[in-house]
Chain A
């Protein structure tokens, strides 16, 4: 199961690189799959290890995609840092007590959606603020953040069942 997840994870990182390089629809929308990937890292992986994975993933995307070196790493590490509190908030202690991965089938669409939206919002807030670097007005940042969270959530929720073993069965 772990090997399956690793392979899927790598494929999604490559997909994110392709998204970053070739899919620029509008300046108002930034599509990202990275918060979803970090959120669905198996619960047996601790916070520190998850942060290191997130840092490496962010750096890889920064390096191979058209972007600012450090920006994805900067935005993705907080997502990993907040992963456990968010899981506890939306799904309770059960995943950690049972050592059981998160799945749509078990925890439902609503809870997973809420957790995903929060993770994506954390990532994109840092990403957009760092990318705009104080050069854009607040309304633009707000509009871009809102549209990007919505678009990234819709794309992420489509692929959630590919990341969790229970949902694939």
Chain B
């Protein structure tokens, strides 16, 4: 009759094998200096590899928390940079620092829901009125404009995405070029069209498109994308294709920008006391 080895017998013999090997290694370790040093080196190398791998796995699962912390830290640094720019400009009139957000308040936020597959896309952000968010605030990243806050609850904000047929933002071709409305092309998540670019302004495909700063929502000089092909519309203006820097399909962290003088600007725009030329 064949003698089949049961699983328990195999486990038992494996356990005995491990025990006997450990006993042999202990004897070798305790009685021979060279072997002790070698075993110590091997075990340290093994431990270092094991701990390194464990740290790698733990680090991977900590990435979300670290991303959150980095987003907050970035925001704090941006605020510091902004304050530094304002103070330096006040102290020295010849100093011309980079002050993109002068007059704007920046609040980091996380996208908790977004859509990119419709013609009218929206976003829900994890910050609301309790965090100081107001309607008609802009949503940006370092690489472009994401949308505009439309409604605010205590803990969340509902925003209209830039990937929306109804949204236009004021954009400028190059740092001192033509200004025109930029809107989504309705096709791809990184495609846009800049319209009403006067024919007299020259530009080349590859020129960078920035926010103009002419709206009360977005600060100026946020890079949006690069110019592509252009075509003349009705013989009067150019329509330029723009490839956006910031795709929205996998976006997680954004910054909400609020123009702290928006009310004043709107008031002055609507004031009957001001004599218009």
A118 interfacial by beta-carbon distance below 8 Å: no
Q: Are A74 and B21 in contact (CB under 8 A)?
A: yes
| Interface residues in A53-112 (C-beta closer than 8 Å to B) | 55, 58-59, 62, 68-71, 73-74, 77-78, 81, 84, 93, 96-97, 99
Interface residue? A137 (CB, 8 A): no
Task: Find chain A residues with CB under 8 A from B1 CB.
Answer: 97
- Chain A residues lying within 8 Å of B3, measured Cβ to Cβ, are 96-97, 99
Nearest Cβ on chain A to B50's Cβ, whole angstroms: 19
- Measured between beta carbons, the chain B residues less than 8 angstroms from A62 are 27
Given contacts A58-B24, A70-B24, A96-B3, contact A77 B35 (CB under 8 A): no
Bound-state Cα–Cα, A68 to B38, Å? 14
B2 sits at the interface (CB 8 A): yes
Q: Does B201 make an interface contact (CB < 8 A)?
A: no
A-B contact count (CB 8 A): 76
A122 close to B (CB within 8 Å): no
Stretch at the interface among A7-15, A128-136, A145-153: A128-136
Q: Any chain A CB within 8 A of the CB of B31? A: yes
Chain A contacts for B24, CB-based, 8 A: 55, 58, 70-71, 73-74, 77
- Contact (Cβ within 8 A) A133 B37: yes
Q: Does B271 sit at the interface, judged by CB under 8 A?
A: no
> By the criterion CB–CB under 8 Å, are B32 and A69 in contact?
yes
With both beta carbons as reference points, the residue of chain A lying nearest to B42 in the complex is identified as A134
A51 touches B16 (CB 8 A): yes
Please give, as numbers and ranges, the residues of chain A lying within 8 Å of B13 by CB-CB distance: 46-48, 51, 81
Nearest-Cβ distance from residue B28 to partner chain A, whole angstroms: 4
Interface class of chain A by DSSP: helix
With contact pairs A48-B12, A93-B2, A134-B38 given, residues A69 and B17 touching in the complex (Cβ less than 8 Å): no
- A162 contacts B by Cβ under 8 Å: no
Number of interface residues of A (CB under 8 A): 27
Q: Does any Cβ of B come within 8 Å of A52's Cβ?
A: yes
Docked complex Cα distance between A47 and B29 (Å)? 26
Closest partner residue, chain A, to B38 (CB atom): A133
Using a CB-CB cutoff of 8 Å, which residues 193-227 of chain B contact chain A? none
Alpha-carbon distance between A81 and B13 when the two chains are bound, in angstroms: 8
Partner of B25, one of A51, A70, A97, A135: A70
Number of interface residues of B (CB under 8 A): 27
A74-B17 Cα distance, complex, nearest whole Å: 10
A136 CB to closest chain B CB (Å) equals 11
The answer to whether A68 and B28 have CB atoms under 8 Å apart is yes
A135 to B32, CA, bound (A): 14
B26 at the interface (CB under 8 A from A): yes
* Chain A residues whose CB sits within 8 angstroms of the CB of B23 once the complex forms: 55, 70, 73
A52-B16 in contact given A96-B3, A134-B41 (Cβ < 8 Å): yes
B35-A133 in contact (CB<8A): yes
Q: Is there a chain A Cβ closer than 8 Å to B34's Cβ? A: yes
Write the nearest CB–CB distance from A58 to chain B, whole angstroms. Answer: 7
In the complex, the chain A residue whose C-beta lies closest to that of B28 is A70
Decide if B187 is an interface residue (CB 8 Å cutoff).
no
**The 10 nearest A-B residue pairs measured at CB:** A70-B27, A133-B38, A74-B24, A70-B28, A73-B24, A69-B31, A97-B2, A47-B13, A70-B24, A81-B17
Provide a sorted-by-A list of 17 A–B residue pairs whose CB atoms are within 8 angstroms: A48-B13, A48-B16, A51-B20, A58-B24, A69-B28, A70-B28, A70-B31, A74-B21, A74-B24, A78-B21, A96-B2, A97-B3, A130-B35, A133-B35, A133-B37, A134-B41, A135-B34
Using CB atoms and an 8 Å cutoff, list the residues of chain A in contact with chain B: 46-48, 51-52, 55, 58-59, 62, 68-71, 73-74, 77-78, 81, 84, 93, 96-97, 99, 130, 133-135
Other A-B pairs, 17, CB within 8 Å; known A70-B23, A130-B28: A46-B9, A51-B20, A55-B20, A62-B27, A68-B35, A70-B24, A70-B25, A70-B29, A73-B20, A73-B23, A74-B21, A77-B17, A77-B24, A97-B1, A133-B35, A135-B34, A135-B38
